[in-house]
Amino acid sequence: MTKTATRLENLQPYFFAVIAQQLHQMRNSGIDVIALDIGSPDLPPPPGVVETLCKSASKPDTHGYTGYRGTPEFRKAVARYYKRRFDVELNPDTEILPLLGSKEGIVNLSLAYLDRGDTSLIPDISYPSYSQGARLAGGDIQWLSVNEEDGYLPQLKDLQLDKSRNPRILWLNYPNNPTGAVASNAFYADAVAFCNDHDLVLASDNPYVDVTYDGFEAGSVLEIDDAKQCSIEFMSFSKTYNMGGWRLGAAVGNAEILKRLLQVKSNIDSGHFQSVYDAGVVALDETTSDWIRERNNVYQRRRDLIMEVLQSIGLRASLPLGSLYIWAQTLDMDGSRYVQMALEGAHVAFAPGAAYGPGGEQFIRISLGIADNRLIEALDRLKHWYQSQ
């Protein structure tokens, strides 16, 4: 076989692609596996979204290319959302770039800003695409230690940058995947100042901003003065509007950074077709705060069900205020072993913490994106399995 590109030697297979194949094989052999590993919302999008898609797709003139920057109507709707939600003004023509879900924008940003010898600053517990994007670009990673005592926030005041390693990007994500941690505007202000002082791109990944609990309201880094000098933010419809499979999102903020991101994107994809953008406009403009609150109440109920039984299944966790997950520490084995034993003994699938970086080895991630009856069954299985060991 022809030799593969060198970049693949440092690019690990994506964990969820690997576990999906394992679960497929188990189910084909007749095993009923309950998946609590992937953060895919199990509830439908807001009213009107699917109807809008169907109506738009039935028109004869909505099936052509929409351009590399999406439709003006969609970009304007994103701008309205940011003004309404955060009181942040965005120019729809220069400060908003539609994405095929935020994940592709995250990886493409690394391709736009990292060469060999350049470094991405990434918390050592974080969404894998930050590090995988750096590796794909041929860049290096400086892991930033985060821990529960510090609220899983990198301590930027103590961070010493090695300029010889050419630091380029700082990644932040709050509410956080996988830990559920949240950040204050004071933390964002420190991060903006740090990135402006050190000429870094501040990449704020914010897909869980509207998935919060116990009355907490998350913010945007763009609320901070001078944030647009160095920052872009990734927003996604996957979690806010239960539209994971639609692959719709946007990057917003610094116009020059978005211009460079578009330079990469336009050589890779051609955007969505118009009906997806039309449905996205409805999601942004017509989703009510009541719909968001009721959906979050479902997740909060599931969160609380899990928290009640953690000790009886060999886990402990802090109560998350946001995101779609519980980040649980294993009590008597490492996370990867716990995941494998739970899959074999209880037929319940989790994500091992090690998939989220070197700081996650003693943890597992539990998703809330599953129907209540299946969640209750999964917890019963886990209690029986763990207590019978």
pLDDT digits (tens, 9 = 90+) for 246-285: 999 999 999 999 999 999 999 999 999 999 999 999 999 9
When pLDDT is cut at 50, 70 and 90, the band that residue 3 belongs to is confident
How high is the pLDDT of residue 20?
Answer: 78
**Distance in angstroms between the alpha carbons of the first and the last residue of the chain:** 46
Q: Which amino acid is at 177?
A: N
Upper half-sphere CA count for residue 188 (Cβ side, 13 Å): 26
Domain boundaries, the chain: 6-44+290-387, 65-286
pLDDT at 218 > cutoff 80: yes
Q: Work out the average pLDDT over 299-312.
A: 98
Q: Work out the average pLDDT over 187-211.
A: 98
125 and 143 in contact (C-beta within 8 Å)?
Answer: no
Range 6-44+290-387: architecture per CATH = Alpha-Beta Complex (3.90)
How high is the pLDDT of residue 23?
Answer: 80
When pLDDT is cut at 50, 70 and 90, the band that residue 19 belongs to is confident
Q: What are the pLDDT digits (tens) for 77-132?
A: 999 999 999 999 999 999 999 999 999 999 999 999 999 999 999 999 999 999 99
How high is the pLDDT of residue 1?
Answer: 80
When pLDDT is cut at 50, 70 and 90, the band that residue 186 belongs to is very high
Q: Looking up tokens 């929409």, which residue turns up?
A: 66
Whole-Å CA distances, 186 to 89, 182, 220, 230, 355 = 20, 12, 11, 17, 29
Q: Work out the average pLDDT over 323-334.
A: 96
pLDDT at 15 > cutoff 80: no
When pLDDT is cut at 50, 70 and 90, the band that residue 329 belongs to is very high
When pLDDT is cut at 50, 70 and 90, the band that residue 140 belongs to is very high
Q: Work out the average pLDDT over 205-209.
A: 98
Tokens (6 digits) for 12:
């690990």
Q: Work out the average pLDDT over 182-186.
A: 97
pLDDT at 26 > cutoff 90: no
How high is the pLDDT of residue 18?
Answer: 75
**Is 110 exposed, middle or buried, given 0-12, 13-18 or 19+ CB atoms closer than 10 A?**
buried
Q: Which is more confidently placed, 131 or 19?
A: 131
Q: Work out the average pLDDT over 33-56.
A: 95
- For residues 167 and 134, what is the distance between their CA atoms, to the nearest angstrom? 12
When pLDDT is cut at 50, 70 and 90, the band that residue 240 belongs to is very high
Q: What percent of the chain has pLDDT over 70?
A: 100
Q: Which amino acid is at 84?
A: R
pLDDT at 11 > cutoff 90: no
When pLDDT is cut at 50, 70 and 90, the band that residue 13 belongs to is confident
Same fold, 6-44+290-387 and 65-286: no
pLDDT at 12 > cutoff 80: no
Q: Work out the average pLDDT over 352-357.
A: 95
C-beta atoms surrounding 322 within 10 Å: 26
| CATH for the 65-286 domain, from 3.10.28.10, 3.20.20.70, 1.10.287.3610, 3.40.640.10 | 3.40.640.10
- For residues 286 and 163, what is the distance between their CA atoms, to the nearest angstrom? 47
Query: Among candidates 256, 251, 198, 195, which has minimal Cα distance to 227?
Result: 195
Residues 134-164 as b or e (16 or more Cβ within 10 Å = b): bbbbbbbbbbbebeeeebbbbebeeeebeee
Helix axes 335-346, 372-387, angle to 10 degrees: 100
How high is the pLDDT of residue 22?
Answer: 82
How high is the pLDDT of residue 24?
Answer: 83
